[in-house]
Structure 1
Amino acid sequence: MKLAPLLALAFVAPGSALVRFHCSQLVVERLDPLVNPGMIPSAHVHQIVGGNAFNATMDPKADLPVESTCTSCQFEDDFSNYWTAVLYFKARNGTYMRVPQLGNNQFEKANGGLTIYYMQDPIYESKQISKVKAFQPGFRMFTGSVTARTLPDALPFRQLTYVCMDTWTQRSPETIAFPTRKCKSGIMVSIRFPTCWDGKNLDSPDHMAHMSYPETGTFESGGPCPATHPVRTAQVMYEVIWDTTVFKDEHWPEDGTSPFVWSFGDGTGYANHGDYLFGWKGDSLQRILDADCHFMTNCSKETGLKLQSIDAMNRCTQKPKIEEDVDGWLDALPGGYHAEYGHA
Structure 2
Amino acid sequence: MKWTGSILLALTAPSSALIRFQCSQLVVERLDPLVTPGEIPSPHVHQIVGGNSFNATMHPEKDMPGESTCTTCQFAEDFSNYWTAILYFRARNGTYKRVPQRGNAFFESATGGGMTVYYMQDPLYDTAQKSKVQAFQPGFRMFIGDVNARSKEEAARFRQLTYTCLDNFGSREQETVAFPDRICNEGIMTSLRFPTCWDGVNLDSPDHMAHMSYPESGTFESGGPCPASHPVRTSQVMFEVIWDTRQFNNKEDWPEDGSQPFVWSFGDPTGYANHGDYVFGWKDDSLQKILDTECYVDCKGAKLQSMEEMNKCSGLEPMVEEDIDGWLTQLPGGHIAS
> Match of 2:12?
none
> Match of 1:165?
166
On the 8 A contact 1:192/1:236 being kept in 2, the answer is yes
On the 8 A contact 2:16/2:293 being kept in 1, the answer is no
Alignment of 1:165-244 (within 5 A): 165-244=166-245
CA distance in 2, matches of 1:140, 1:219: 20
Alignment pair present for 1:61 and 2:58: no
> Match of 2:44?
44
**Secondary structure in 1 matching 2:157:** helix
> Match of 1:8?
none
CA distance in 2, matches of 1:51, 1:205: 24
> Match of 1:103?
103
**Secondary structure in 2 matching 1:175:** coil
CA distance in 2, matches of 1:68, 1:115: 20
CA distance in 2, matches of 1:332, 1:128: 46
Q: Which moved more, 1:320-329 or 1:123-132?
A: 123-132
Q: CA deviation at 1:241?
A: 0.2
1:263 to 248, 262, 265: 265
> Match of 1:315?
312
CA distance in 2, matches of 1:125, 1:259: 36
CA distance in 1, matches of 2:16, 2:284: 25
4+ residue runs over 4 A deviation: none
String of CA shifts for 1:200-232, please: whole Å, max 9, x gaps: 000000000000011111101111111100000
Alignment of 1:76-87 (within 5 A): 76-87=76-87
Consecutive unaligned residues in structure 2, runs of 5 or more? 1-14
String of CA shifts for 1:218-276, please: whole Å, max 9, x gaps: 10111111110000000000000000001252322233211010000101000000000
Consecutive unaligned residues in structure 1, runs of 5 or more? 1-14
Q: CA deviation at 1:63?
A: 1.0
1:27 maps to amino acid = V
2:302 maps to amino acid = L
CA distance in 2, matches of 1:17, 1:282: 18
1:312 maps to amino acid = E
CA distance in 1, matches of 2:32, 2:64: 16
1:254 maps to amino acid = E
More helix by share: 1
On the 8 A contact 2:185/2:249 being kept in 1, the answer is no
On the 8 A contact 1:29/1:46 being kept in 2, the answer is yes
On the 8 A contact 1:51/1:71 being kept in 2, the answer is yes
On the 8 A contact 2:127/2:296 being kept in 1, the answer is no
1:338 maps to amino acid = I
Q: What TM-score, normalized by structure 2, do the two folds share?
A: 0.93
> Match of 2:289?
287
2:282 maps to amino acid = W
On the 8 A contact 1:87/1:261 being kept in 2, the answer is yes
Alignment of 1:241-260 (within 5 A): 241-247=242-248, 249=250, 250-260=252-262
**Secondary structure in 2 matching 1:157:** coil
> Match of 1:329?
327
1:29 maps to amino acid = E
On the 8 A contact 2:64/2:79 being kept in 1, the answer is yes
Q: CA deviation at 1:16?
A: 6.3
On the 8 A contact 1:127/1:292 being kept in 2, the answer is no
On the 8 A contact 2:89/2:97 being kept in 1, the answer is yes
**Secondary structure in 1 matching 2:186:** coil
1:55 maps to amino acid = N
On the 8 A contact 1:46/1:85 being kept in 2, the answer is yes
Q: CA deviation at 1:305?
A: 1.8
2:132 maps to amino acid = K
> Match of 2:149?
148
On the 8 A contact 1:158/1:176 being kept in 2, the answer is no
Instruction: Determine what percentage of the aligned residue pairs are the same residue.
Output: 71
Distance 1:16 1:162, change over 3 A: farther
Q: CA deviation at 1:119?
A: 0.1
1:311 maps to amino acid = E
Q: Give the root-mean-square deviation of aligned CA atoms.
A: 1.2
On the 8 A contact 2:77/2:286 being kept in 1, the answer is yes
Q: Which moved more, 1:313-322 or 1:132-141?
A: 313-322
